[in-house]
Amino acid sequence: MAQSLSYCGQLVKEQDPDRFLISMLMDSSCRESLWALFAFNHEIAKTREVVSETALGHIRLQWWRDAIASVYEGGAVPEHEVMGPLSESIRQYDLPRKAFDDLIYAREFDLENIAPAHLEGLLIYADHTQAPLMKLAMQICGDDIGAEPVQPVAINYALAGILRSVSFHKAQGRSFLPTDLVAANDVTDVVKLVIEEGVAEGSRSQSRFLSASDQLAQIYLKQIKGLKYDVLSPKMAVSPPFIALRMLAHALLS
């Protein structure tokens, strides 16, 4: 009989299926800690969507900041389905506090509901919301973070996600597309420019986690190119074919 998933595992499977897929390609010994980390990321990333006012968003993010601080300062860990497993992972893998603080700080940008003014601003946002998370995941997986090209992979992964979510963000009255490009181009041309000028060349990595993350980003970016950069097309809601098998094959051949 198949073993049921933990709370964090089930949450990530339902709310962040891409990272859940990546986690299933990692050693089973580190999956629970990866799920706790990704569940935490989901909780802070969804803040903009679950609050009605900016002030409430800052309060929610401050709760997570205080909860993380309590773990590192030896205080009581708040009773929360994610914080319990996450605190254990922090201690087990000696995860750095700064990375968590950086992720929470990056999510404060979402609350302002302001699109980046230019491509550089978008790339900075992509880096700040993804690179610390990837470094934490790599530390859990036992990778040599200093020897790996984390930043370009983090940016590629974030851009793939942002571009695939343009329609979703539009329905919310939000946009992450650079305003200077939007002012002079239609959406398809903006997306094309973001990919051509913002996406880094794929880098070979010794890290299975980083390699899998980059491969998944490339699959999604290829899908966008195949749709002629029309990210508003209903076809964007359809996952690329055989994505799990393609990821598995890449992992086996890497």
Q: Are residues 241 and 174 in the same domain?
A: yes
pLDDT at 184 over 90: yes
Which phi and psi (to 5°) does residue 45 adopt? -70, -30
Q: What is the total count of domains within the chain?
A: 2
State which residues form the domain around 125: 115-254
Q: Are residues 19 and 49 in the same domain?
A: yes
Q: Are residues 94 and 140 in the same domain?
A: no
Final residue of a domain: which of 113, 135, 162? 113
Q: Are residues 3 and 69 in the same domain?
A: yes
43-47, 163-167, 203-207: segment of lowest average pLDDT? 203-207
pLDDT at 1 over 50: no
Q: Are residues 127 and 58 in the same domain?
A: no
Q: Are residues 86 and 101 in the same domain?
A: yes
Whether the predicted model's global pTM rises above the 0.85 cut: yes
Final residue of a domain: which of 68, 86, 113? 113
Q: What is the pLDDT of residues 117-140, one digit of tens each?
A: 999 999 999 999 999 999 999 999
Q: Are residues 135 and 254 in the same domain?
A: yes
Final residue of a domain: which of 68, 84, 113? 113
Q: Which long-range contacts (CB under 8 A, 24 or more apart) does 231-240 make?
A: 231/163, 231/164, 231/166, 231/167, 231/187, 231/188, 231/191, 232/166, 232/167, 232/170, 232/187, 236/164, 236/167
Cβ within 8 Å of residue 124, ≥6 positions away: 116
Q: Are residues 22 and 55 in the same domain?
A: yes
Query: What pLDDT, on the 0 to 100 scale, is given for residue 62?
Result: 97
The sign of the dihedral angle between the CA atoms of 201, 178, 57, 72 is positive
How far apart are the C-alpha atoms of 220 and 104, rounded to whole Å? 26
Q: What is the pLDDT of residues 212-247, one digit of tens each?
A: 999 999 999 999 999 999 999 999 999 999 999 999
